[in-house]
A and B are shown apart, each in its own frame.
Chain A
Amino acid sequence: MTSSLPTFSKATAAATILLVGSISWALVGAGLQVLSTLQLLIPSLAYILPIPWISYGKLTPLTTFLFTYGWITSGFLGVLTILIPRISGIPFRYGRVLAGAAILWNVAVLVGLAEILWNGSTGLISMPFSRSVTALFFLSFIILGTGLTRGLGRSWKTGPLLPRLYLLGALLAFPLGLGTAELLLRGGLAPGALQIMMQFVWNSFLHHLWLTPLALVLLFQLLPVLTGRPVGSLSLGLLCWVATITLGGWIGNSLASEGPVPSWLQSAGVVSTLLLGIAVWGNGTLLKALLEGKWEECRRQVALRFLAVGLWSYLASYAWLAFLALPAVRQTTTFTIVAQATQTLLLFSFYGNVLAGAIYALLPASRAMGWPSHPALTIHFWFSTIGLGLIASSYSLAGIFQGLALNDPGVPMSTISSYLRPFLCTVLVGQVLWWIGQLSFSTLFFASLLKLFPSVAPAAIFPADYEDPSPLLTEGKY
């Protein structure tokens, strides 16, 4: 079993708090998401039980908030708190301050949850919370971000470059995007139409300049370590990094179709999305090469399999976004539930799988713990993957049918709603499966943290292949 080095132990509490928060918010969000879909599927439920704080209009923004800020962001910050001092070789100082910031982040999520349940959402895209929650996020980010950047410059030449570059981009994009959005959307500085553009810009910054680069930090750091291969071409990697950072902030406007966003910005969004697709293809080429011939290891090792699925989801998400940006497709799919398919691919499939893989790979390096070879590992992988496959495919098909029907003025709105029902049934099944997968993961996670399993190994291995786990993931490799 891996033991944690005392020099790195100061950040352990912060990482644990962030990861415990992340997994808890995912469970809460998954439950509320099922309730929300149930209400969309059976509208009569709202007539039988008209309860304001569990209405569809409140649960939908709430679940997106919990998944984005609670599950994914908290989780990414948690695994990066474990990873960064190990790749820089410079341990964190002021562990209590970091732990305080980790608590603050989760308090912000809790306050946001309470606000949306009681007072409702602000209606703003990717910003359904009040100014006080923004302030809490900011304060927490400043401390955690300072911790993460510490050592980045001093150790610049002593390790892989691409993860550092993506981390640098993400750490600058988040405060710039959130700060501008807060000032323009609630500071009274922007008139109406500009507010809508700002919402799209913030949505782009949040997903494509904050969460995607963080996921790429983990992919570019962990895949070479787990496969024992270096990234093939640094030049291609640098080109893709520049393209990702330059174009990521622009692609939100490709989601708009006429209305408040000027045409040139919509066209710029479309071009950026298509060009970003090329950068993603470049990154995919680099990362896929690491997995070539490693099928047996992907089948056996839990972390590697989740990261591999995360990588494929990265390619699928941006290919899907490029497809949606095509003018003919955009006219059909704007204002449909295709947006939910995009969210499923990005948030759950790409970020979620990368996060799960990173937790499986990194947690033993942070705490003196390991993973049992338990059937729950298999349940986590298959239930999550099948669940997400069902959700994404159903939302995609439903959204395309919905768009085609909306464009036919002869089809009444009530008929369009009835078209959605069979797809929503499948979505519901997928969400329940994903929830079971998360329950299984959280059981493993908490039981492993509490050291309840008699036999554990540092690398999580699926039960069918559990023979002699070679400890690939040792402290020194990060």
Chain B
Amino acid sequence: MKSGQALLIVFLSLLFAWAGQIALGYFQVGRLEPILNEETNYPEPPVPSGLAQTGARVFASQGCIECHSLSVRGPSGSSDLTRGWGPRRTVPRDYLFREPALIGSARVGSDLSNIGLRIPDSKDLMMHLWNPRMRNPNSTCPPHPWLFEKKVAGPRLENEALPIPTKDWKQILPTYQAKSLVAYLQSLHSDYALPEAPIK
């Protein structure tokens, strides 16, 4: 075999893998658009807020994705729906506005695709980030105290302060990172039906 022939084979082989997945994938998935909900006049999936988009980066940087997945599988061969991880399976359109788009590799913890539905209250999510064992004593999730700061409290606790007794008249306040992470977690919900994934 001549070197030119080898080069051509390599080029065509790599092009086959690249074009087959990326180019065809682009035509199938890259052109998906949101569905307009005619009742609410909002697009579905909903466009996340700027704070939630910042939170997606905090989510990635804290390595939450090492233990949690972001994809609910259908009823055949998995118990995701029975476990209550979502009202329907996840489909490509659900990731339309996710930046960065993450899926996860292991489920040491539960799937978070619909954590915004399961824990809608921001205080509960904040408490989980501060100390997961305050909500669930058996939790294996690590605490993230560095996402909070302790400040001397005035006559009253601030609205954002966690309802936790502290020493020395201090209150525990979420940082911008914690707020954005909670906004991102709240934005994770797929309680809307899509043509390819109806809610039964």
Contacts and interface: CB of A to CB of B under 8 A. Distances in A.
A335 B30 CA distance: 25
Contacts of A119: 61
Interface string A180-213: 1000110000111111111101001100010000
Interface of A: 39-40, 43, 46-47, 50, 52, 55-58, 60-61, 119-125, 152-153, 156, 161, 164-165, 168-169, 172-173, 176, 180, 184-185, 190-199, 201, 204-205, 209, 238, 242, 245-250, 253, 256-262, 265, 268, 328, 331-332, 334-337, 339-340, 402, 406-409, 413-414, 417, 420
A194 B14 contact: no
Given A335-B106, A339-B106, A192 B96 contact: yes
26 contacts: A50-B145, A56-B67, A56-B142, A57-B65, A57-B67, A57-B142, A165-B6, A168-B6, A192-B98, A193-B30, A198-B22, A201-B17, A209-B14, A242-B9, A250-B17, A258-B74, A262-B92, A334-B73, A335-B71, A336-B107, A339-B105, A406-B78, A406-B79, A406-B107, A408-B79, A409-B83
B14 A123 contact: no
Nearest to B25: A197
Contacts of A120: 60-63
A60 B104 CA distance: 13
Given A121-B60, A245-B14, A413-B110, A331 B22 contact: no
A60 B63 contact: yes
B175 to A, nearest CB: 12
Contacts of B131: 47
Interface string B48-86: 000000000001111111110101111011110011000
Contact of B142 (A46, A164, A199): A46
Given A57-B62, A180-B22, A260 B142 contact: no
Contact of B63 (A56, A194, A261): A56
Contact of B103 (A43, A122, A196): A196
A134 to B, nearest CB: 15
Given A180-B22, A260-B101, 5 more contacts: A122-B61, A123-B61, A169-B14, A259-B71, A335-B69
Interface centre among B9, B63, B133 (most CB of A within 10 A): B63
Contacts of B96: 191-193
B102 A123 contact: yes
A258 B70 CA distance: 12
Contacts of B156: none
Interface string B137-181: 011111111100000000000000000000000000000000000
Contacts of A238: 1
B22 A197 contact: yes
Contacts of A123: 59-61, 63, 65, 100, 102
Interface centre among B99, B100, B140 (most CB of A within 10 A): B140
Interface of B: 1-3, 6-7, 9-11, 13-14, 16-18, 20-22, 25-26, 28-30, 32, 59-67, 69, 71-74, 76-79, 82-83, 89-111, 131, 133, 136, 138-146
A43 B140 contact: yes
Contact of B28 (A52, A55, A185, A262): A262
Contact of B30 (A194, A201, A328, A340): A194
B198 to A, nearest CB: 15
A192 B97 contact: yes
Interface centre among B22, B29, B109 (most CB of A within 10 A): B29
B177 to A, nearest CB: 10
A192 B95 contact: yes
A309 to B, nearest CB: 27
B6 A47 contact: no
B74 to A, nearest CB: 6
Smallest CB-CB A-B distances: 9 pairs: A57-B63, A120-B61, A249-B17, A123-B60, A192-B95, A46-B142, A259-B71, A331-B77, A193-B92
Contacts of A335: 69, 71, 104-107, 111
A317 B93 CA distance: 34
B140 A60 contact: no
